[in-house]
Amino acid sequence: MKKNLLLLFTIAGMLISYNSFGQLTPAPSSTQTIIQDFGLGKITLTYSRPNVKGRKIFGYTEPYNAVWRTGANAATTITFTDDVTLDGHKVAAGTYGLFSIPAENEWTIILSKNAKQWGAYDYNAADDYLRFTVKAMKINELVETLTMQFTNVFPTSADLNLLWEHTALAIHLTTDIDARVMARIDSAMQTNKKPYYDAIIYYWNNNKDMTKALPWAQALQTAPGFPPMVVKLWLARTELRVGDKAAAIKAAQEGIAAAQTAKSTEYIRLNTEVLVDAKK
């Protein structure tokens, strides 16, 4: 107990000294904050990034089967502005400490309700919100700096990857927003500002009933603020999905002509793709 108190007083003294003189030197472990849009919300991840510096990390510098702050300095934190699911486990919106227990083949991931900690010195399992395990993978390439990043990001799923030294792991995230998005679309369509464009894209990307979206695509043709090459593209895509190939061909050809006038190679390509599919 006395030893722990002495350590905490030492750290506190270091912080007071640091705050008194400002940042005189670069931090040995830089801090990174990542903000990732996800579903209808955001994920914010803040962690400090130690380097390997020629050391043996996992199993030595960071012992196996011991709680790790998943970074350096202050404990890593992760904030969800909306409910999510991590590897099949539901997590309510909020801010959590992100701890882990490394092992050679499998890590334990911990979300702690206590997000304000320095290191893992005061970690208490009683504060755990969630624990689950993920597989650890060995990689040939040396990752010098601890790296956490979001990959494979889609509207309702993503992976949070951790890479350091010769170890990599991935935490799969999902969020269930479809019912709320559909309800929002239905409600917005009852107002004067009907979100035709956003609604069509959502229906098309998520394989919804495009017969319902067809009147929206037709109404978009006279909505202000949308270039002809754009509205023709979405009309053509919608008509093709409902099986009206002749109408899709006509709309795509008009979209190509509009894109040529606007000198937009992107929309020439996109409208041409629909035209080719409609002619099959």
pTM exceeds cut of 0.95: no
pLDDT in tens, the chain (280 residues): 444 444 444 444 444 444 445 568 888 889 999 999 999 999 999 999 999 999 999 999 999 999 999 999 999 999 999 999 999 999 999 999 999 999 999 999 999 999 988 888 889 999 999 999 999 999 999 999 999 999 999 989 999 999 999 999 999 999 999 999 999 999 999 999 999 999 999 999 999 999 999 999 999 999 988 999 999 999 999 999 999 999 999 999 999 999 999 999 999 999 999 999 999 9
- Using DSSP's 3-state secondary structure scheme, residue 70 falls into coil
Number of Cα atoms under 13 Å in the Cβ half of residue 183: 4
Task: Round to whole Å and give the CA distance between 176 and 95.
Answer: 19
Task: Round to whole Å and give the CA distance between 105 and 113.
Answer: 26
User: In terms of domains, do 121 and 207 share one?
Assistant: no
How far, rounded to the nearest angstrom, does the alpha carbon of residue 237 sit from its chain's CA centroid? Answer: 28
User: In terms of domains, do 115 and 240 share one?
Assistant: no
User: In terms of domains, do 78 and 190 share one?
Assistant: no
User: In terms of domains, do 55 and 184 share one?
Assistant: no
193 assigned to some structural domain: yes
Cβ atoms of residues 174 and 85 within 8 Å: yes
13 assigned to some structural domain: no
Q: Residue 193 belongs to a domain with what CATH number?
A: 1.25.40.10
User: In terms of domains, do 38 and 169 share one?
Assistant: yes
5 assigned to some structural domain: no
22 assigned to some structural domain: no
Residues of the domain holding 60 = 27-174
* Among candidate residues 174, 200, 234, the one where a domain is terminated: 174
If residue 217 lies in a helix (H) or strand (E), which one and from where to where?
helix 210-219
